[in-house]
Structure 1
Amino acid sequence: MQQVRSVITEFKGTHYDFGRSQAEWLKTTLMMENRAKEWRKRRPRFDINIDETMHAFMKYAPGIWEELIGLQDGLHMDMTQVLLNFGHYRVYAKPSGCSVFTTEDYMVRNYDYHPATYDGRFTFYKPSDIGYATMAPVSRITGRMDGVNEHGLVMGYNFMHRKAPGDGFVCYMIGRMVLEYCKNVDDAVAFLKEIPHRSSFSYILLDPSGITKIVEATPRDKTVRNHHYCTNHFEVLTHENRRVLDDSHMRMHHLKQLNGQMDAAHAFQLMNQHDGGIFSDKYSSWSGTIHTSCYHPKKLTCDITLGAGSKPVQLSLRDWLDGKPLPQYEITGQIDTHLTFASE
């Protein structure tokens, strides 16, 4: 068991300046050194094409391309290395878990993955050039794993499989784009149908209308369904599923014990406790629960904790946009593993 923490950061300004700011933060951490070690151990199974990647960003998320240039200038790094580490286009994904439950008023989610991939940052960002303000946990500096934007659009994603990858963006960059460029569920569905996907994931969407839509997306096909539960198997594109889905079906069984009348605090507790059948300690297998988060689209708030059993931190995007100071600058918790976060 070890103590872990995630730093809460804030930034208002252009994407380029945001990139420069993140570059300065990276220089104070072991993040790039740890990334270099990972690339030596795990040869990339993809190619970096600068022109192709630039054109894709300019079509779907031009502001984030400016952020990448800011990172390049701040780190004095060639663009190939920038795209390798921060571009998240044509990137190979490891297996993972994750469980999501929604009602009309909230989305509660367990993010399950490997601690060495976890940045340990939760960021409030308001772009002054293009895009909506967001608050979200950070993935690989430029990506987001779940979150909410200023219009109350909430997004989370769940891994499905890694077979037959295609040319396209990976989940955490797609998640960032959805939050920053889509106003509501309908916008997000249209965006997810259009953008090229590297791997196969389900994207769970909720907005203040109270309607949840789940987009099942692969490099080959996309479909949309209305549902309140999601783990790690497709319900429509079943031909795309992995062969071994026992753990995913087990967590789905326990998720179905939750219901639409359950208040958010109770649902959060059930997702975040060891004996609920949903929380996972399988960190070395790339599927341990790192954070539990609960987003309220009508209130623009988030409750989040690291590991199991800690009191959640309550954060408000609306308060921050209204100029109120952040209530704290750190999220702490405990996870039952010796594995450390990427920045440590």
Structure 2
Amino acid sequence: MQIGIEAIEGRGNAYEFGRKQAAALKETALFDKHTNRRKKSIKRYQTDFMEAKSWIKELSPSLWEEMQGLADGLEWRLSDVVHEYGGYQQSWKKSGCSAIITNEVYGRNYDYHPKTYDGRFVLWQPENGYAHIGFAQRIIGRMDGMNEHGLAVGYHFVNRISPEDGFICCSIARFLLDSCRTTREAVEILKDLPHRHSFNYSLSDRYGDAAVVEGSAKSTIELIKHDNVCSNHFRSEAKANENRHMLTESKERLHRLKKLQKSNPGALEVFKMLNQLDYGVAKTDYKNWSGTIHTAVYNSKSLEVTAGIGVNALPVQISFKNWLAGSRFIVKRLRGKIEDVSGGEHLSSEKLPLNP
């Protein structure tokens, strides 16, 4: 199936950016999915509105304004937007993601099921706060990304048993991009935040400081020895008992990632290693929530992004630095191909116009 990931850019007022995203969302099949999902979401979980509001306004005041604009644009109550998109107390299916980090480069695969994939690539430069670039999830969340200071972030599913009150992964990633300049700052935020589920968070900054943080509702710790790679299980002795029972695939993939990282690859090499099937990292098991939907490589020093959709993809290179300086962003959609699978029809690009 040919798919198209919409590129969305915004600058300035966060409230107006929220309204802009709402208007665009209402014109898509994704909005129909979200509207139908509301019926289930209301029954499935509750959100402590004031607790979520307190955290969001502390970490990213502009994000709260964006959510207000989103609510007005969708003609939803703000409490419904916080419940559906805020990421405080929501469920998460299993997934598999891989990361390779070098001195300048953070590369990551997003492996999941297409039916829950937003299909949105966002560049955002607020009046107040840090600008960032990355792939969106649940509208305001980010699957991975890099901000104007060169901090790059991604997450890796570990387990969803024993969830407690807290934020889900894509909201946490957004908080880090909005509020942190360095890996050290991000690690401290990760330790302070309440976590809903068990995830690894891989991080890198322009100073070459990389980290892997193991976060869950029980506790959050920084992994001391991470070898600049990450997959889908906790490696620290302290949190090993929180892993799923079936770890063979994640451990084998981690071993391959370590071998690939040792060559100190550049951005394009990292992209190939993560994206081309020959390297044994990219996956096509979409029906079982484990197919590579996108590969993103962020250069923390040059602020260049290399991205591709699906496996064996043709990479697109984007200068976030030039965009921050005011350059026009001419990419309308990132295009690629994934296996036909039920639920991913909203991503189809067959009827979309070609990029200019």
Same fold (TM over 0.5): yes
| 2:134 aligned to which of 133, 136, 150 | 136
The CA deviation string for residues 49-98 of structure 1, in whole angstroms up to 9 with x for no partner, is 32232223223322212111111111111234212321111111111100
Give 1:252's aligned residue: 254
Q: 1:317 is matched by which residue type in structure 2? A: F
Give 2:230's aligned residue: 230
1:23 and 2:25 aligned: no
Distance 1:38 1:75 in 2: 15
Instruction: Pick closer, same or farther for the CA change 1:342–1:89 going to 2, 3 Å.
Output: farther
Give 1:122's aligned residue: 121
Offset, 1:36: 3.2
Deviates more, 1:104-113 or 1:52-61: 52-61
| 1:184 aligned to which of 182, 185, 188 | 182
CA contact (8 A) 2:5 2:347 kept: no
Offset, 1:107: 1.2
Q: Which runs of structure 1 show a deviation greater than 6 angstroms over 4 or more consecutive aligned residues? A: none
1:60-209 equivalence runs, <5 A: 60-128=59-127, 130-209=128-207
CA contact (8 A) 2:49 2:83 kept: no
Give 1:263's aligned residue: 266
Deviates more, 1:192-201 or 1:35-44: 35-44
Distance 1:154 1:76 in 2: 33
CA contact (8 A) 1:120 1:341 kept: no
Q: 2:9 is matched by which residue type in structure 1? A: E
Give 2:212's aligned residue: 214
Distance 1:262 1:64 in 2: 35
Q: 2:312 is matched by which residue type in structure 1? A: G
| 1:324 aligned to which of 321, 324, 327 | 327
Give 1:281's aligned residue: 284
Instruction: Pick closer, same or farther for the CA change 1:274–1:330 going to 2, 3 Å.
Output: same
Q: 2:141 is matched by which residue type in structure 1? A: G
Distance 1:133 1:16 in 2: 15
CA contact (8 A) 2:3 2:347 kept: no
CA RMSD of aligned residues (A): 1.7
Distance 1:145 1:80 in 2: 23
The CA deviation string for residues 290-315 of structure 1, in whole angstroms up to 9 with x for no partner, is 00111100001110000012211111
Instruction: Pick closer, same or farther for the CA change 1:280–1:176 going to 2, 3 Å.
Output: same
Any stretches of 5+ residues in structure 2 without a counterpart? 349-356
TM-score, normalising length from structure 2? 0.92
Distance 1:190 1:181 in 2: 11
Offset, 1:203: 0.8
Give 2:242's aligned residue: 240
Instruction: Pick closer, same or farther for the CA change 1:42–1:246 going to 2, 3 Å.
Output: farther
CA contact (8 A) 2:41 2:84 kept: no
The CA deviation string for residues 259-307 of structure 1, in whole angstroms up to 9 with x for no partner, is 2422332222121122322111111111111001111000011100000
CA contact (8 A) 1:158 1:202 kept: yes
TM-score, normalising length from structure 1? 0.95
Deviates more, 1:43-52 or 1:233-242: 43-52
Any stretches of 5+ residues in structure 1 without a counterpart? none
Distance 2:341 2:91 in 1: 25
CA contact (8 A) 1:117 1:341 kept: no
The CA deviation string for residues 235-260 of structure 1, in whole angstroms up to 9 with x for no partner, is 11212111111221121122122024
CA contact (8 A) 1:118 1:342 kept: no
1:271-310 equivalence runs, <5 A: 271-310=274-313
When the two structures are aligned, how many residues end up with a matched partner? 342
CA contact (8 A) 2:143 2:155 kept: yes
Offset, 1:43: 7.0
Distance 1:32 1:343 in 2: 12
